[in-house]
A and B are shown apart, each in its own frame.
Chain A
């Protein structure tokens, strides 16, 4: 091991931390992402955690993973396969090895590869490396022992010491990639600000891991450096999709000069939005943890009636429960943002996994003619803009809006250039004017936009009633008149269809693509990367990725008809393809559908698209 270690320059690298769900892999992964982002690399992360409350220790179902893709240039996905796999126990090695490249370096804690550990992971021999036919470099380090000796004399008990194992692995990975540990130190000191002794213990262990790599040169042939290429100058932070969504809501409320009200009920994977917003009371944000999903939506409608920017956050099963109340917002024409962080369904399904299977539910999952704008965020950082735009549309067009994200982009994170709120469009709700006083009725509309005017309780001269019953468009009184109902259904639909949305952009071989890839929402990174790689390989493909689902961009039909072949790729059984067929006459796309609860794999996309090109 004495030979000189060569430093290789890489354009990008994928690291996957995996271990038992109690092993702190999410934290190690997060810190590594931060450290990398701070030196100017681009990052895209994917926490892949089990749904079990706490599976038996060391079991195959209890493995928690965190994958981070670090690049010199922009990276759009967490990567298909990893260059470094950290496997803290045999179960992690067994379940996560499939994510390792043939050239990967694998780090294991040999202290956790004892007979009983191997049995729990259903190994039959005492040599898991051989048993699995692993040919890659393996750094087999007695991590547990080294952590214990490193922390000897600190007065920490065994259990507390073992909690620092993740930091040893992190230190080792930091050494592999020549990372400066000071960022990790700052991160830990902040995270454990109230327990400085824990912070210092963790820092000690990171250094031990780093030094171990340095001193032993481990059993690898190289260490790596990832340069940072020119990025747009500015200030950056690492942000997850859920946090970006929360920030977008806060920004919109500030821009509109309104109070933000969130009515919510905890549900995976949306709860972090409730957590995040609950922290920011100093910004005047009100969050209510309600008694159920229905109340989350209903209390938000009450808050909207009173004049707040009202939001309710949930995932698919929660949307089922909220849908009756969402319809009340449709017919009362009150602004409301319904956030659906999609997860695997149906029913409780795969709570921690990601799908795009709520699209048709968002569009049509309610009784009656119930038009509702639907916006789908395309990446962790795009959640900010999508949330901001959802609020703008809700407030300016007096309508509930469904904002779709998914577990993948909600939990994943990426480097985010801090936005300048001054550059964001103004938000102007259609408040009543002084001239309307004393002859206001709530369903009189702006004839151009079909948007009604908004009067708030407390304003003298505008008392009125809203309700779930159909009402006369002029007087606001209950009406069962057939002509009036017909008119009101049309008006509510036209109001939504008149909402201006930007054209869908075609990327890649815009002029001469043989295949147009079409997607929506959180699959953007994978579809974009597939397109880019195919273009690099000389294949003429383009991508049209949708964020605005209802109304669709005006150029949708033109774009879809422009190319000989079109494939709609989505993480469901063809919901968007079906919707586009309904909206665009004569549209018959190829389909790529996967509902595995996992992100797309770029190589699989490319293989499928190449097949279509051959047809």
Chain B
């Protein structure tokens, strides 16, 4: 088997603003693809419109930059028509959750084996600074000079609501964390949603400040890992416990709490209740969850489509056009 390096997946000179989270993410994607080891020519990267959707131009794979919001639908057709191709869908928060929201939820619901990357900078960058469906209520932007009067989507909530089987989160500047979740997403058979928290240096600088630096993550992020207790803090001194219908942050050693009392992460649990709670945690009261939050196996759409075709081929007696004609009521004129 050929060993690949990040260079094998690289192409061209990215044109994003200096400091844009897309640069960091792209480097991690190249690295992850090399480690995954699927050849560039068996990989298709499909995007919509927006800053992040320029990404396929920097991939030495099969690629298509399409139209606004439709990446998930186009990626779906590609995967169904040729399940042997590994398909990555690249969308931003506007592309994926606003204009493309319908395709986003239905690709997840069908559980098509796509790696669906959602680069979330909570802003429209390419059109120069309008609020997005993930901008918080009251957000001031060019199209909301007095603040928005609407609530944002939480991508995880939407994913889980569409019966998502895989949800992971990373921060663009965290190379290792990003590579890890991308590899996990690729390994998962089915629709894998990865929310990438990234900064827009021009129009929404600092939106993810809380976790954007290494120091910030050390304090405010929790790296969740299947089978491991949900501990966080600079010295793992904090943990998560269940309380009533929710979660609570506890400090080890206080009130007699030991590591044994801490909730152990179960990414494979069918019931997504606690996984959703993890995914929705926000500062300042809670840490931001990073890593693979949900990873549950389920039949994939494209496999089921192919299996049904094989099954019907056995059941039905006609396998070419002429045989199809003969299934009709036919009369002969002599």
Q: Is B329 a contact of A305 with CB atoms below 8 Å?
A: no
| B118 contacts A by Cβ under 8 Å | no
Provide the bound-state CA to CA distance between A469 and B50, in Å.
12
Known: A305-B44, A460-B39. A299 touches B333 (CB 8 A): no
Q: Which residues of B sit under 8 angstroms from A38, Cβ to Cβ?
A: 329, 331
Provide the bound-state CA to CA distance between A294 and B106, in Å.
13
| B123 contacts A by Cβ under 8 Å | no
Chain B residues 308 to 334 lying within 8 A of chain A, measured CB to CB, are 308-309, 312-313, 315-322, 324-325, 328-334
Known: A295-B102, A301-B74. A37 touches B60 (CB 8 A): no
Residue of A nearest to B85 (CB): A457
| B134 contacts A by Cβ under 8 Å | no
Q: Which residues of B sit under 8 angstroms from A462, Cβ to Cβ?
A: 41
Q: Which residues of A sit under 8 angstroms from B153, Cβ to Cβ?
A: none
Provide the bound-state CA to CA distance between A39 and B46, in Å.
56
Q: Is A458 a contact of B41 with CB atoms below 8 Å?
A: yes
| A195 contacts B by Cβ under 8 Å | no
Chain A residues 293 to 313 lying within 8 A of chain B, measured CB to CB, are 294-295, 298-308, 310
Q: Is B329 a contact of A286 with CB atoms below 8 Å?
A: no
Q: Is A459 a contact of B41 with CB atoms below 8 Å?
A: yes
| A421 contacts B by Cβ under 8 Å | yes
B324 interface neighbour in A190, A283, A288, Cβ under 8 Å = A283
Stretch at the interface among B62-70, B196-204, B205-213, B247-255: B62-70
Provide the bound-state CA to CA distance between A291 and B205, in Å.
36
Known: A247-B324, A457-B42, A469-B65. A295 touches B329 (CB 8 A): no
Q: Which residues of B sit under 8 angstroms from A460, Cβ to Cβ?
A: 39, 41
| A284 contacts B by Cβ under 8 Å | yes
Provide the bound-state CA to CA distance between A71 and B136, in Å.
71
A463 interface neighbour in B62, B76, B78, B331, Cβ under 8 Å = B62
A contact face: mostly helix, strand, loop, or mixed: mixed
Known: A254-B320, A299-B73. A235 touches B57 (CB 8 A): no
Provide the bound-state CA to CA distance between A456 and B78, in Å.
11
| B82 contacts A by Cβ under 8 Å | yes
Q: Is B331 a contact of A468 with CB atoms below 8 Å?
A: no
Provide the bound-state CA to CA distance between A38 and B74, in Å.
45
Using C-beta atoms within 8 Å of the partner chain, give the interface range for chain A: 35 or more
Per-position binary interface string of chain A over residues 422-433, scored 1 when its CB falls under 8 Å from any chain B CB and 0 otherwise:
000000000000
Q: Which residues of B sit under 8 angstroms from A468, Cβ to Cβ?
A: 49, 65-67
Q: Which residues of A sit under 8 angstroms from B49, Cβ to Cβ?
A: 468
Provide the bound-state CA to CA distance between A237 and B331, in Å.
6
Provide the bound-state CA to CA distance between A263 and B73, in Å.
10
Chain A residues 444 to 476 lying within 8 A of chain B, measured CB to CB, are 456-469
Q: Is A259 a contact of B74 with CB atoms below 8 Å?
A: no
Query: Smallest CB–CB gap between A188 and chain B, Å?
Result: 12
Per-position binary interface string of chain B over residues 60-102, scored 1 when its CB falls under 8 Å from any chain A CB and 0 otherwise:
1111111100100111111111101100000000000000001
Q: Which residues of A sit under 8 angstroms from B84, Cβ to Cβ?
A: 458
Q: Which residues of A sit under 8 angstroms from B315, Cβ to Cβ?
A: 282
Provide the bound-state CA to CA distance between A292 and B49, in Å.
19
Name A residues whose Cβ lies closer than 8 Å to a Cβ of B: 34, 37-40, 186-187, 190, 228, 231-239, 247, 250-251, 254, 259, 261, 263, 280-286, 288, 290-292, 294-295, 298-308, 310, 324-325, 327-328, 332, 418, 421, 456-469, 477-478
A285-B309, A290-B73, A325-B67 given. 9 additional CB < 8 A pairs? A228-B333, A234-B332, A250-B324, A281-B312, A298-B70, A302-B76, A306-B85, A457-B42, A463-B61
